[in-house]
């Protein structure tokens, strides 16, 4: 019997409960594929599960964490036609949400075990092919952060050329939104507390960068630079604490994309009849495939700031919690 490394965390009990152990390599059954995972990435959602910030989000008492990874199919069970041995793939974030607008609550690294392990058995239909133009590590940035940004920019209000997009912060969702929106012909404003991060965002095409620490009235500064109510879509990873400022910047027909809770509860708790508020629930396999094709077509290279080995997963979590990163934090699963 062969064994693999696998991480677990006690849901809601904190980062220090992460444990790395050895378990048997599973085998695929009918309709399933065994994937040897090589790279993974973290999302703020992993912190939410670790700390229990949203009750019921994580499987209890423990869960294999992380929702985003890439690797190679090494075996398939009877009846599999979607993928073959040797295919490079990414498991999608919500394995049973293949198409349609209604999200499926069964998501990796939360309600069901995730990808912080060296091998995983997946329903073959939940695998998206990874094009040769993207590395495994780049592919591992796609299932949650990039797809969330893609859905915010395309699902409810298609982004138009010359639209102004406002992305808060320089984490995975914000940087993916910057790269995708620029490829769509939009203009992008970015806020951050770090001039160094803003310089990196500018190198990726950001048109307007505002340090909200040195410019507390960042909304006024943005309005002064662009005019009254200039924003077509706010990529809101901060939450309700910025709702009023965000809402006051959105033009008629614009959208506030409620994505995160870095600073408070989610924006949709502060909904307003005057604001088109769009809660973003990542996306389905069909959207994942459309996004991947767009990324390849426009030669977008996802940004990974630093990579940790699986044995140092707790350190990767602490780095994520610190906020001292740009884009994504990767995990080497080899």
Transcribe 235-290 into DSSP letters. Answer: EE-S-GGGHHHHHHHEEEEEEEEE---SSSS-GGGG--TTS-EEE-----HHHHHH
Looking at the fold, whether 207 and 229 belong to one and the same domain comes out as yes
Residue 289 near residue 127, CB atoms below 8 Å: no
pLDDT digit string (tens) for 88-112? 999 999 999 999 999 999 999 999 9
Looking at the fold, whether 192 and 162 belong to one and the same domain comes out as yes
Q: Is the pLDDT of residue 269 over 80?
A: no
Looking at the fold, whether 104 and 116 belong to one and the same domain comes out as yes
Residue 105 DSSP symbol? S
Q: Is the pLDDT of residue 263 over 80?
A: no
pLDDT digit string (tens) for 41-80? 999 999 999 999 999 999 999 999 999 999 999 999 999 9
What Cα–Cα distance (Å) separates residue 163 from each residue in 168, 251, 256?
16, 10, 14
For residue 149, tell me if it sits in a domain.
no
Residue 73 near residue 34, CB atoms below 8 Å: yes
Q: What is the pLDDT of residue 172?
A: 97
Q: How sure is the predictor about 268, in pLDDT bands with cuts at 50, 70 and 90?
A: low
* 287 contact partners, CB below 8 Å, separation of at least 6: 147, 150, 151, 154, 155
- Tell me the mean pLDDT in the region 279-290: 96
Number of compact structural domains in the chain: 2
For residue 150, tell me if it sits in a domain.
no
Q: Measured between alpha carbons, how far is 174 from 123 in angstroms, rounded to an integer?
A: 30
Q: What is the CATH number of the domain that holds 181?
A: 3.40.50.720
For residue 121, tell me if it sits in a domain.
yes
Q: What is the DSSP pairing of strand 208-211 with strand 187-192?
A: parallel
Q: What predicted TM-score, i.e. pTM, was given to this entire model?
A: 0.96
Q: How sure is the predictor about 20, in pLDDT bands with cuts at 50, 70 and 90?
A: very high
Looking at the fold, whether 103 and 229 belong to one and the same domain comes out as no
Closest CA to 257 of 147, 142, 132, 167: 167
> Which secondary-structure segment (H or E) carries 10?
strand 3-10
- Tell me the mean pLDDT in the region 255-261: 89
Looking at the fold, whether 112 and 125 belong to one and the same domain comes out as yes
Q: How many CA atoms lie within 13 A of 259 on its CB side?
A: 32
- Residue 263: domain span: 156-279
Looking at the fold, whether 266 and 311 belong to one and the same domain comes out as no
- Tell me the mean pLDDT in the region 248-268: 85
What Cα–Cα distance (Å) separates residue 324 from each residue in 5, 147, 170, 193?
28, 23, 10, 11
Transcribe 135-199 into DSSP letters. Answer: -HHHHTTIIIIIHHHHHHHHTSSPPPTT-EEEEESSBHHHHHHHHHHHHTT-EEEEEES-HHHHH
Looking at the fold, whether 38 and 118 belong to one and the same domain comes out as yes
Looking at the fold, whether 163 and 67 belong to one and the same domain comes out as no
Closest CA to 229 of 209, 246, 212, 207: 246
For residue 51, tell me if it sits in a domain.
yes
Looking at the fold, whether 273 and 315 belong to one and the same domain comes out as no
Q: Measured between alpha carbons, how far is 133 from 125 in angstroms, rounded to an integer?
A: 22
For residue 57, tell me if it sits in a domain.
yes
Q: Is the pLDDT of residue 154 over 90?
A: yes
Q: Is the pLDDT of residue 267 over 90?
A: no
Looking at the fold, whether 275 and 292 belong to one and the same domain comes out as no
What Cα–Cα distance (Å) separates residue 147 from each residue in 68, 120, 155?
11, 21, 10
Residue 183 near residue 163, CB atoms below 8 Å: no
Reading the block at residue 253, the tokens are 């027909």
Q: What is the CATH number of the domain that holds 44?
A: 3.90.180.10
For residue 268, tell me if it sits in a domain.
yes
For residue 73, tell me if it sits in a domain.
yes
Residue 3 near residue 104, CB atoms below 8 Å: no
Q: Is the pLDDT of residue 193 over 90?
A: yes
> Which secondary-structure segment (H or E) carries 3?
strand 3-10
Reading the block at residue 45, the tokens are 């959602």
Looking at the fold, whether 265 and 322 belong to one and the same domain comes out as no
């Amino acid at each position: 019997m062969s064994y693999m490394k696998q991480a677990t965390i006690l849901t809601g009990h904190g980062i220090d409960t992460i444990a790395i152990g050895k378990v048997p390599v599973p085998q695929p059954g009918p309709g399933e594929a065994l994937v040897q995972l090589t790279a993974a990435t973290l999302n703020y959602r992993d912190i939410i599960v670790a700390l229990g910030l949203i009750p019921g989000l994580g499987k209890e008492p423990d869960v294999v964490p992380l929702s985003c990874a890439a690797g190679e199919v090494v075996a398939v069970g009877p009846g599999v036609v979607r993928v073959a041995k040797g295919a490079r793939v990414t498991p999608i974030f919500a394995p049973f949400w293949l198409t349609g607008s209604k999200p499926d609550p069964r998501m990796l690294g939360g309600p069901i075990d995730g990808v912080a392990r060296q091998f995983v058995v997946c329903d073959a239909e939940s695998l998206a092919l990874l094009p040769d133009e993207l590395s495994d590590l780049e592919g591992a940035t796609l299932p949650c952060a990039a797809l969330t940004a893609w859905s915010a920019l395309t699902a409810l209000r298609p982004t138009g050329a010359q639209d102004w997009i406002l992305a808060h912060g320089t984490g995975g969702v914000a940087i993916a939104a910057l790269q995708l929106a620029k490829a769509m012909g939009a203009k992008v404003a970015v806020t951050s507390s770090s001039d160094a991060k803003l310089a990196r965002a500018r190198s990726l095409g950001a048109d307007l960068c505002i340090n909200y620490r040195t410019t507390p009235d960042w909304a006024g500064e943005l309005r002064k630079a662009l005019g009254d109510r200039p924003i077509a879509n706010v990529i809101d990873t901060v939450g309700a604490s910025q709702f009023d400022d965000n809402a006051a910047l959105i033009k008629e027909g614009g959208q506030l994309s409620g994505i995160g809770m870095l600073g408070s509860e989610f924006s949709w708790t502060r909904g307003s009849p005057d604001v088109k508020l769009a809660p973003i629930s990542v996306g389905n396999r069909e959207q994942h495939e459309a996004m991947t094709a767009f990324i390849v077509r426009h030669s977008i290279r996802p940004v990974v700031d630093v990579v940790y080995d699986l044995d140092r997963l707790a350190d990767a979590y602490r780095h994520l919690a610190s906020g001292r990163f740009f884009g994504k934090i990767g995990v080497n699963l080899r």
